[in-house]
């Protein structure tokens, strides 16, 4: 009788243990994309700091330290191209779709982490007063993302997350017919992120 009662109670005792082990989280963060100066093919690109944007991420832990993450980011900025043929200013929507491997370290409530992976980027010109060039179209880029940051646990379900992210890609050309916007170089966009994550 005691044996059968023990066999019945063991799975029930394991339920709280599994319930406490959060393997997934979703985070929402504010971002600011900061493009550097880029130059090539006698073309200079002076992109402005992005507007306040948003990043949504989903993370799944494969082990206590390693996991996979997918990201979507939306932001806007103004690209300012200068070349011998003139000056072009383009207001655009910026989108990021990325997947990364994340490795984290645990120090009580502090959880530093590093990550790296592949990414796709979309630049879509906006036809408004901040764009002074016509004949533009949406362009997509394939590149990489990497980052390092920390999460501070404020409860078993929530943490505050801050990270520096780098986005590596070729500068956009917006398919301009005369190829005046083609620097033919890669640049690294700085992407600071601060947000909150929910674990489940």
Residue 10: pLDDT over 90: no
* pTM, rounded to two decimals: 0.86
Give residues with Cβ within 8 angstroms of 172, minimum separation 6: 79, 92, 123, 139, 141, 181
Question: Residue 81 falls within a domain, yes or no?
Answer: yes
Question: Residue 191 falls within a domain, yes or no?
Answer: yes
Q: Pairing relation of β-strands 66-83 and 38-40? A: unpaired
CB 6 within 8 A of CB 14: no
Question: What's residue 71's pLDDT?
Answer: 98
Question: What's residue 3's pLDDT?
Answer: 55
Question: Residue 45 falls within a domain, yes or no?
Answer: yes
CATH of the domain at 161: 2.40.160.20
Work out the average pLDDT over 76-89.
Answer: 90
Work out the average pLDDT over 82-97.
Answer: 92
Q: How many domains does the chain have?
A: 1
How does pLDDT run across 33-82, given as a tens digit for each residue?
A: 999 999 999 999 998 887 889 999 999 999 999 999 999 999 999 999 99
Question: What's residue 16's pLDDT?
Answer: 43
Question: Residue 7 falls within a domain, yes or no?
Answer: no
Question: Residue 162 falls within a domain, yes or no?
Answer: yes
The DSSP secondary-structure symbol of 35 reads P
Question: What's residue 18's pLDDT?
Answer: 39
pLDDT class for 5, splitting at 50, 70, 90? very low
- The parent domain of residue 47 ranges over 20-199
Residue 21: pLDDT over 80: no
Question: Residue 12 falls within a domain, yes or no?
Answer: no
The DSSP secondary-structure symbol of 157 reads S
Integer Cα distance of 101 and 117 in angstroms: 6
Work out the average pLDDT over 129-145.
Answer: 94
The DSSP secondary-structure symbol of 137 reads -
Question: Residue 61 falls within a domain, yes or no?
Answer: yes
Residue 143: pLDDT over 80: yes
Question: Residue 4 falls within a domain, yes or no?
Answer: no
């Amino acid at each position: 009788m005691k044996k059968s009662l023990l066999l019945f109670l063991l799975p029930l005792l394991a339920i709280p243990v599994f319930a406490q082990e959060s393997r997934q989280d979703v985070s929402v963060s504010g971002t600011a994309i900061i493009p550097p100066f880029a130059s090539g093919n006698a073309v200079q690109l002076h992109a402005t700091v992005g507007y306040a944007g948003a990043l949504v991420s989903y993370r799944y832990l494969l082990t206590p330290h390693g996991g996979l993450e997918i990201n979507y980011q939306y932001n806007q900025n103004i690209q300012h191209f200068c070349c011998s043929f003139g000056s072009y200013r383009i207001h655009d929507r910026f989108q990021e779709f990325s997947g990364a491997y994340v490795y984290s370290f645990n120090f009580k409530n502090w959880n530093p982490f590093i990550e790296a992976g592949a990414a796709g980027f979309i630049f879509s010109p906006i036809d408004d007063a901040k764009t002074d060039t016509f004949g533009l179209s949406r362009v997509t880029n394939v590149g990489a993302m990497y980052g390092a940051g920390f999460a501070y646990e404020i409860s078993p379900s929530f943490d505050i997350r801050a990270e520096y992210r780098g986005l590596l890609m070729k500068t956009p050309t917006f398919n301009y017919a005369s190829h005046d916007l083609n620097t033919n170089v890669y640049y690294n966009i700085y992407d600071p992120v601060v947000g909150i994550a929910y674990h489940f």
